[in-house]
Amino acid sequence: MTVYAPPLKDFRFVLDHVLGFDRLAALPRYQHLDAELTDAILGEAGKFLAEQWFPLNQVGDEQGSVLVDGVVKTPEGFKEAYELTARNGWIGIPFDEEHGGGQVPATVSTAITEMMDAANASLSMVVGLTAGAIEAILHHGSDEQIATFVPKLMTGEWAGTMNLTEPQAGSDVGALTTKAIPQDDGTYRIQGTKIFISWGDHDLAENIIHLVLARTPGAPPGTKGISMFIVPKYLVNADGSLGERNDVKTVSLEHKMGIKASPTAVLAYGEDSDGAVGYLVGEEMRGMRYMFTMMNAARLEVGISGTAIADVAYQNAVQYAQERIQGRPIGAPATESVPIIEHADVRRMLLSMKAQVEAMRAIELTNAFHLDLGQYHPDEETRETHRLLAELLIPITKAWNTDRGVEVASTAIQVYGGAGYIEDSGMPQYYRDARIGPIYEGTNGIQAMDLVGRKLPSAGGKAIMSLIADLKSIDADLEAAGPGFESTRRNLTAAIQTVEQATGWLAAKGMEDPNEAMAGATPYLRLLGNTVGGYLLARQALAAKKLLDQGAEDKAFLDAKIVTARFYNEQILPETLGLLGAVTSGKEMLFALEPEQF
């Protein structure tokens, strides 16, 4: 049986001492929020998820969701847990009070999402997808669509999905062929097949609201010709009650490596009629833009899941290392055995996991913090600066966190040794669940290309220049911190210089030949993520030292912050220097072999 303890203390530390919670509470939108209320929200969420969701995590992996006679059955206990989640208001927590939401900042809801993902990654997805549907309809739907669909989505009575991928298109959304044929009554008839639709059908909610990308007649090829449609599983009557079943059929469920409780469906639209009834969202041929309202939120959430699964895997590895008696210290009598946490290499693995998890958490919360300030700060110029930083960090949060999540989950199995390879330990599930993260919502290679091709040159490079300035700003504080911070300062300075070199090379070569820049995109994303992680841990170490100098009581926690940051910057960050060659080597070697030579 695995364990999970919500990392409430760490959330609070990052909010208060790295980001500055007072800056959030000062925003007019969040003036109702204070530290005490935030602690209460996070504490209640953590308690609920640990008690109600986490015990179902292994059950969900063992039973999975199954398709029986055209009906999707979720694992035992999932429906009851979902209903409790909806009843307690956790689905609508980020949204405006006027729509029935909790109106908490993205920074706080990000912490809640991490706990959801850690407690039960499969169940968390249906909450996240529903929130994404709410966001898209609120931003782009008509008043009638908002009134019809949002209240039921907020309460969880209805759930949401997003439908992009098709068999022939894969990640190339512009290649989709699903048709949307306009009708005289203003509706559309949707015809086509969608694949890899997470929670595409299930028995948790009474209705499912699909947001579907499709093409209207005469639409141009590529992403410019795509429109978005609301296609409910059950049509909705004028009085809000459910009407007849729409022509949306679950053809099959995928048999997946992980997140087995999350049903991944193949959906057929209009197979038994002239099309499923759909309602145009906004204007025709702006669907891809609208879908990005959901996509950016989804990419952030996938990155959060990388942190979450890594954290719960780490927590279990620590407990096992403290309890498993094996081997003896060097020089000790042959009869003396100790917990494996006393062995140097086990400690190296645990510290590596701890450092990476804390860096991942700091990155996701920082990303969400910039989203909050970028949307709600009263000053327009300040909003723009934070908006650009948030956009820049999205591919890093998504890709860097999920890559690290897989690595940490793998290391957790290594700590267990042979026992970790056995399903009964519970550890293989975390590795299997984590592995989808680098693939979801645009593979990590696509995220890297987005970072280099779109985010770096955005607004004349303002975001990356602002980020590099932030990274450099810590140097004087590290120098003033004195003994114990020299190596952190030295390694972080070298990493930042490497980021500058790599960024300059990409900017120059990208102007000459985009393929030169794309060839180095993935190592560049890892380089930048590594460096941002080291910077944020260094900031945590400085905050911990300041608190200790002021006589703070929680010495063990604060000392650990300093040690963890130093370990990361001494033993993990130096790999960043070796990535410069991969970033700047260009495309030549990648295209040196003919396809048949592989």
Catalytic residues: 441
Write the DSSP string, 462-492: HHHHHHHHHHHTTHHHHHHH-TT-HHHHHHH
Cα four-point dihedral sign 449, 454, 457, 463: negative
List of residues 6+ apart from 15 with CB closer than 8 A: 21, 38, 107, 108, 111, 365
In whole angstroms, what is the distance from residue 273 CA to residue 190 CA? 10
| Segment 137-145 long-range contacts (CB within 8 Å, at least 24 positions apart) | 137/211, 137/230, 137/281, 138/95, 138/99, 139/290, 139/293, 140/228, 140/281, 140/282, 140/290, 140/293, 141/230, 141/281, 141/282, 145/230, 145/279, 145/281
CA 195 to chain CA centroid, Å, is 21
In whole angstroms, what is the distance from residue 362 CA to residue 531 CA? 12
Give me the amino acid identity at 51. E
Helix or strand or coil: residue 120?
A: coil
In whole angstroms, what is the distance from residue 31 CA to residue 517 CA? 44
Q: Left, alpha or beta for 327 (phi > 0: left; psi -120 to 50: alpha)?
A: left
In whole angstroms, what is the distance from residue 3 CA to residue 431 CA? 16
Residue 483 CB burial class (10 angstroms; 0-12, 13-18, ≥19):
exposed
Beta strands in 148-238 (DSSP E): 158-163, 179-182, 188-198, 207-214, 227-232, 234-236
In the block, residue with structure tokens 């070199």? 501
Give the number of other CB atoms < 10 A from CB of residue 50.
17
In contact, 194 and 179? CB cutoff 8 Å: no
H helix count then E strand count, the chain? 21, 12
- Give Cα separations from 191 to 111, 549, 583 (angstroms): 39, 66, 44
